[in-house]
Amino acid sequence: MNKIFHPNIDELSGSVCLDVINQTWSPMFDMINIFEVFLPQLLRYPNPTDPLNGEAAALLMREPAAYEAKVKDYVSRFATKEAAEAATDDSASESDESSHGSLSDDDETAGMEL
């Protein structure tokens, strides 16, 4: 997952502020509308008055130039092909470590009576 610095997106989980979608939602919209219309609009026009990321919202409202600089920094650090490949490599090695850990737990309990 790429990190994003945005008032309406939680940096740790990647959750999107649903209030923005709920304000304009109707049953006539489908998932295509969410991905092609709502999310791009949300990313382009943040709503700092209803934030999931208070730090990003405060920075956008108080110092727009500093907010823009921080967004550009996040893009260069986390939204490049190299960063995505590094994140994929990191998550693969974490998966390997956790699977090895579970094997060793099984080995330790193999000789124990229940």
CB atoms within 10 A of CB 17: 19
| Residue corresponding to tokens 């590094």 | 86
Q: φ and ψ at 74, to 5 degrees?
A: -60, -40
Which SS3 state, helix, strand or coil, does residue 16 take? strand
Q: Any idea which residue has 């740790």 for tokens?
A: 12
Catalytic residue among 4, 9, 17, 52: 17
Positions of E strands within the chain: none
Q: How many angstroms separate the CA atoms of 41 and 73, rounded?
A: 21
- Catalytic status, residue 58: no
- Catalytic residues, by residue number, are 17
